[in-house]
A = this chain, B = another copy of it.
């Protein structure tokens, strides 16, 4: 089962991260903050589901890679990239809760938090196997640009359409969450450029599905399952497909209330329940499912009969956390 695969590999990645970051902690023992930053980056990274690292190993397996140790190091690099992006993301969004714990922003503030993230990036490159650097940089740059667009859309007055939102999903999420690890696994297993590019494309579809499900969980999930505050996307007025479809379909008093609720830091639980109700009442959930079906078909065409990828697609559509 694919859940078993991720669980087993999460263990392997965790062990490697422990080894790497405790060696770094010792090396940096004489530098102020050296031990503390290594230890916190380790505990923060260990708190992740390690789906991205797992995807490196999954693609590596599918393409018959033989040097598992190297693939695990690649997985660690992706996990450290992810941790660092989240650390900066929490500063940008002023999020106090992450992975079920106080965020690094909450504990250290913005300025030290910026440094935490920067150091995490440098560590990611240190453990990254040679030969993956170009892919790694290319996709990381896309995430940074996608993050900028996400920030921009959150304060811009321009009217936002589906293309804007999907662009953010593609660059901010799919690029490093799915395309990058799948490309790394394929490249590390010695596959040619064509296969690597096919993985990039598959990653796009899986990544968009992943993000839509993430939006759904942010709206309908429970805090203890998702490890962050429920309704955070509503409070931030985040431009998700849910947001877009709700505003396209609502009218009258409902439209007015939705406008009051989205982007309002002080909403109550009842407001979140109201948004949930509107999602159903206005058929937004059906529209979202149609979208998911569209990307599912695209992914299926690329996957063919590859069993692990098929299971992965299934999992990404039914995940609850």
CB pair B145 A28 closer than 8 Å: yes
Residue A114, interface by CB 8 Å = yes
Query: A203 contacts which chain B residues (CB < 8 A)?
Result: none
Residue A88, interface by CB 8 Å = yes
Contact with B along A113-125 (1 / 0, CB 8 A): 0111111011101
Residue A253, interface by CB 8 Å = no
Main SS class of interface, A: helix
Shortest beta-carbon distance, A125 to chain B, in Å?
5
CB pair B92 A167 closer than 8 Å: no
Query: A126 contacts which chain B residues (CB < 8 A)?
Result: 133-134, 137-138, 141
Q: How far is the CA of A117 from the CA of B115 in the complex (A)?
A: 11
Interface size class of A (residues with CB under 8 A): 35 or more
CB pair A171 B32 closer than 8 Å: yes
Query: A145 contacts which chain B residues (CB < 8 A)?
Result: 28, 31-34, 37, 115, 119
Query: A142 contacts which chain B residues (CB < 8 A)?
Result: 28, 31
Q: How far is the CA of A121 from the CA of B121 in the complex (A)?
A: 8
Query: A137 contacts which chain B residues (CB < 8 A)?
Result: 122-123, 125-126
- Interface locus among A148-156, A193-201, A262-270: A148-156
CB pair B119 A121 closer than 8 Å: no
CB pair A151 B111 closer than 8 Å: yes
Shortest beta-carbon distance, A96 to chain B, in Å?
17
Q: How far is the CA of A147 from the CA of B122 in the complex (A)?
A: 14
Shortest beta-carbon distance, A255 to chain B, in Å?
28
Q: How far is the CA of A92 from the CA of B140 in the complex (A)?
A: 23
Query: A33 contacts which chain B residues (CB < 8 A)?
Result: 145, 148-149, 152
Q: Which residues of chain A from 94 to 126 have any CB-CB distance to chain B below 8 Å in the complex?
A: 110-112, 114-119, 121-123, 125-126
Residue of A24, A117, A118, A125 with most chain B CB atoms under a 10 A cut-off: A118
Shortest beta-carbon distance, A318 to chain B, in Å?
31
Residue A283, interface by CB 8 Å = no
Q: How far is the CA of A114 from the CA of B150 in the complex (A)?
A: 13
CB pair A141 B125 closer than 8 Å: no
Q: How far is the CA of A31 from the CA of B28 in the complex (A)?
A: 38
Query: A290 contacts which chain B residues (CB < 8 A)?
Result: none
Residue A130, interface by CB 8 Å = yes
Give me 14 other A-B pairs in contact (C-beta within 8 A), A92-B114, A125-B137 excluded.
A28-B145, A31-B145, A33-B148, A37-B144, A92-B111, A114-B114, A114-B117, A115-B144, A115-B147, A118-B118, A121-B122, A125-B133, A126-B133, A130-B133
12 A-B residue pairs with CB within 8 Å: A32-B145, A32-B146, A92-B114, A114-B114, A115-B148, A115-B151, A117-B118, A121-B122, A123-B141, A125-B136, A126-B134, A133-B133
